[in-house]
Each structure stands twice: as structure tokens, then as C-alpha cells.
């Protein structure tokens, strides 16, 4: 029969909270799922895990298994390892018997963000892609502008200011284009922000064929809150203020910000 305790026990630097009934909002098959923390305050295991290991360890030490330091607690017939490398200190790995070097634990895999850009969809003449960074999105947008037979002449570029009054970019430098005979700047590339799924993104049109369009989404801005997204957008616009049209094009087209 499992113990039915309603007290707080402190053993060897480990604070253990145990209760016979789950608190409100938690579900653990009649048992509480309160977290245990080690002496440094790191979550180790839950009260349910407590039933699977002995309460008292025979020995505690630090062991280097080649991929980081572990706090090891030896029990009768087994041991418990607490990761100590600072990356995921809440992970608990239990092994029966001896632990072989290099096989101490199975690391939790954190998939890396996919680098570069990938196509998301195509709507009519607009191609939508998602990019892993601001620089990647900018370079893809510039590449798209030059995708036809005509290429951008940086010396002829002018700064384009946002015209949408509802946008944080209104009146700010948001893009680049050529000046028309009427004196208006017709943009080929601009940095925009919306709340329709594109978040912060580059809009671009091909210089040779303005009917061909591209939206290059900065992937990390999609899940951001409205305030965080707007802050990200404004920070990027501030960096455009101090640059010439040629400098912005050279930055966006190469990903190198050392252009003014």
C-alpha cells in the first residue's frame, strides 16, 4: 500500500511536498503531482515518481560522463542522475544498476529552427515564403526583385515612406523604389507588418514584371503578441533611418548590416 502522508519532509537538501489528494486544478489519479526541488531550486521529479524510488540514498556525488556533470544519488540496486550542465536541469534520468560512460542519459532533442526560407503557398501571382530570420527574408526579397531580365541599379534607388495611416510604419522609411516622372517613389521592396498571418514580412515585386509578387515572412514574428510584433517592427525601421537607399539595398541584398 502506498504511504498516505500530509507533511513536508526535508532530506539531504531535497524539499519534498507530499499530499494524499491532488490539489485543485491538478489531475494525477488521486495523487498529487507537486514538484520536488533540489537544494538549488531545480525541479527534479513529482510525488508520483517518489513511489518508484527509495526515500533515502546511500551516497551522493558529482560524476562527469563526458557530456556534462551529473549529480548522482546511489540507492540499493540503482541510481538517480540529475543533469547539471545548465541546459535542462529539470530532467531526471533513472537507471537500474551501473551506468556506463557515454550512456548516462538520453538527451531531450530540441529541433533547431530550419535555416533559410521555404515556400508556404502561392496565391495567384503572389508567392508566400517563410524565412528563419530578418536577413534571410530580406535577401530572398531582393533576389526576387532581380529575378527577371532587369536588375536594380542601386544608384537610382530612392527611399519609400509608408503611406498606410493605420500602420506603425506610416511616414517612416519602410522600403525602396524608383522615382516616377510624377515625382512619386514606386516601391519594389518594403518591410510591412500585419495581423493576417504574415506578421512582419517583406513585400517585393519583380522589376521586370510588377505583376509577380512575393511575401517573405519572418517566421519568428508570427507567434508574437501584437505588442511584441510591433516592437520588433519599429526596431527594424529605426535602423533604416540612418541609412541611404543604396546602403539599405546593400544590407538587404547581402545580409550584411555594415552598409550605410
What's the rounded Cα separation, in Å, for the pair 111 and 186? Answer: 41
- Residue of higher predicted confidence among 230 and 54: 230
pLDDT in tens, 21-32: 444 433 333 333
Residue 241 maps to a domain: yes
pLDDT score of 196: 75
pLDDT score of 49: 41
Residue 104 maps to a domain: no
Nearest one of 229, 221, 234 to 173, comparing CA atoms? 234
What pTM value is reported for the model?
0.56
> Could you write out the DSSP letters of every residue in 52-120?
TS-SS-SEEEEEE-SSSEEEEEEETTEEEEEE-SSS-TT-EEEEES---TT-S--PPP-PPPPPSEEEE
- Residue 80's pLDDT band, with cuts at 50, 70 and 90, is low
Positions marked active-site: 201
What's the rounded Cα separation, in Å, for the pair 112 and 223? Answer: 17
pLDDT in tens, 131-171: 999 999 999 999 999 999 999 999 999 999 999 888 889 99
Regarding whether 153 and 85 lie in a shared domain, the answer is no
Regarding whether 125 and 64 lie in a shared domain, the answer is no
Regarding whether 121 and 73 lie in a shared domain, the answer is no
Regarding whether 129 and 90 lie in a shared domain, the answer is no
Structurally, the chain folds into a number of domains equal to 2
Amino acid at each position: 500500500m502506498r504511504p498516505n502522508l500530509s507533511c513536508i519532509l526535508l532530506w539531504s537538501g531535497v524539499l519534498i511536498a507530499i499530499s494524499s489528494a491532488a490539489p485543485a486544478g491538478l489531475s494525477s489519479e488521486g495523487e498529487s503531482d507537486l514538484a520536488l526541488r533540489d537544494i538549488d531550486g531545480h525541479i527534479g521529479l513529482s510525488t508520483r515518481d517518489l513511489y518508484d524510488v527509495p526515500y533515502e540514498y546511500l551516497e551522493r556525488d558529482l560524476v562527469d560522463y563526458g557530456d556534462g556533470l551529473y549529480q548522482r544519488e546511489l540507492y540499493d540496486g540503482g541510481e538517480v542522475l540529475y543533469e547539471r550542465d545548465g541546459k535542462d536541469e529539470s530532467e531526471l534520468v533513472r537507471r537500474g544498476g551501473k551506468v556506463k560512460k557515454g550512456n548516462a542519459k538520453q538527451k531531450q532533442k530540441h529541433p533547431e529552427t530550419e535555416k533559410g526560407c521555404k515556400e508556404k503557398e502561392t496565391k495567384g501571382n503572389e508567392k508566400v515564403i517563410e524565412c528563419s530570420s530578418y536577413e534571410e527574408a530580406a535577401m530572398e526579397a531582393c533576389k526576387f526583385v532581380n529575378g527577371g531580365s532587369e536588375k536594380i541599379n542601386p544608384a537610382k534607388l530612392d527611399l519609400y515612406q509608408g503611406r498606410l495611416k493605420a500602420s506603425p510604419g506610416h511616414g517612416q522609411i519602410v522600403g525602396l523604389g524608383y522615382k516616377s516622372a510624377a515625382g512619386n517613389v514606386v516601391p519594389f521592396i518594403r518591410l510591412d507588418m500585419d495581423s493576417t498571418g504574415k506578421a512582419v514580412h517583406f513585400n517585393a515585386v519583380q522589376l521586370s514584371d510588377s505583376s509577380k509578387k512575393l511575401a517573405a515572412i519572418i517566421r519568428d514574428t508570427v507567434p508574437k503578441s501584437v505588442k511584441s510584433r510591433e516592437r520588433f517592427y519599429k526596431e527594424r525601421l529605426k535602423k533604416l533611418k540612418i541609412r541611404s537607399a543604396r546602403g539599405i539595398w546593400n544590407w538587404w541584398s547581402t545580409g550584411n548590416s555594415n552598409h550605410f
